[in-house]
Amino acid sequence: MLRTRIWVGSLLAAAAAGVLFGDAFFAPHYPILLAAILFLGWFGTQEFWRMLSAGDRPAAPVVALGVPLVLAANWFSVLSQGIAAPWQCVIGAFVAAVLVAFLYEIGTYSADGHSSRRVAFSVLLFAYLGLLPSFLVQLRWLPVEVSGAALAAAIFVPKVGDIFALLTGMAFGRHKLTPLLSPKKTWEGFAGGMLAAMATAVGFRYLSPELFHHDTLRAVAFGLCVGLMGVFGDLAESMLKRDCQIKDASKSIPGFGGVLDVVDSVIFAAPVAYLFFTA
């Protein structure tokens, strides 16, 4: 299992780096990033939808179109040549998707007692897989000298923390972090992951000095905050899976589970990374 995770993880890291590098030639539209984020959003939506019990599942067309709409809205400002601000487009798309979810349930109401739950899960999906990843996408339109490094740091800092939390926990783990929620996670693994996240952030500080304004302490703080949010993202997905009584979101990615199992930490880390680089 560990060997599989290493091989598949290396391929995923190379693919992410390839998207970031290749898309730099297509600024400011970044079509490769658009295709990648829409694919991940669509696939993650399918996984989440299948996790839910039949009565709680939102209408498939509503969420299958709503999540990609929110994600694609990040590009509306660029395509309109700045007529609308980026976040106006994203929030507008999110609100539109929520309204459609309500309207669909109103139009198909059957008194089965699950309408409000289906709307609630629709809103959760639009926020979890549409709104939160939008913070990641928006990093691409920072000043060109830092945008690529900012996006790479927001992805790789929490993921490196993930990897080293696993390795440290396997080697030294003794004390359970959350016995009920995620029994395999340990405080020792948590410490190892946080140190690795901070070290990775410092590495980005030297690869792209402008990213953290030549400030090593700022890079350490970034690694600490983003690494911590990555852990929360991992635990949040574990909570959702526990409630749905499943182990993995799917089996589409050998050694990892599903798309949600891969991107969970990055989704929660994205807003903090955005605040760091735009404050």
Quick one: what percent of the chain has pLDDT higher than 70?
A: 99
In tens, the pLDDT along 44-97 reads 999 999 999 878 899 999 999 999 999 999 999 888 777 778 899 999 999 999
Q: What distance in Å separates the CA atoms of residue 41 and residue 160, rounded to the nearest whole number? A: 22
Given a cut of 70, is residue 1 above it in pLDDT?
no
Mean pLDDT of 178-182: 90
Q: Where are the domains of the chain?
A: 2-278
Confidence of residue 4 (pLDDT cuts 50, 70, 90): confident
Q: What is the mean pLDDT of residues 135-140?
A: 95
pLDDT band with cut points at 50, 70 and 90 for residue 142: very high
Q: How far apart are CA 205 and CA 216, in angstroms?
A: 7
Could you please report the per-residue DSSP string of the chain?
Answer: -HHHHHHHHHHHHHHHHHHHHHHGGGTTT-HHHHHHHHHHHHHHHHHHHHHS-GGGPPPHHHHHHHHHHHHHGGGHHHHTTTSS-HHHHHHHHHHHHHHHHHHHHHHT----S-HHHHHHHHHHHHIIIIIHHHHHHHGGGS-HHHHHHHHHHHHHHHHHHHHHHHHHHHHH--SEEETTTEEEEEHHHHHHHHHHHHHHHHHHHHHSGGGGTT-HHHHHHHHHHHHHHHHHHHHHHHHHHHHTT-SSS-SSBTTTBSHHHHHHHHHHHHHHHHHHHH-
Longest C-alpha distance within the chain, in Å? 60
Q: Give the tens place of pLDDT for each residue, 260-277.
A: 999 999 999 999 999 999
pLDDT on residue 70:
98
pLDDT in tens, 240-249: 998 888 888 8
Least confident of 80-84, 121-125, 194-198, 268-272: 80-84
Confidence of residue 155 (pLDDT cuts 50, 70, 90): very high
One-letter amino acid at 5 equals: R
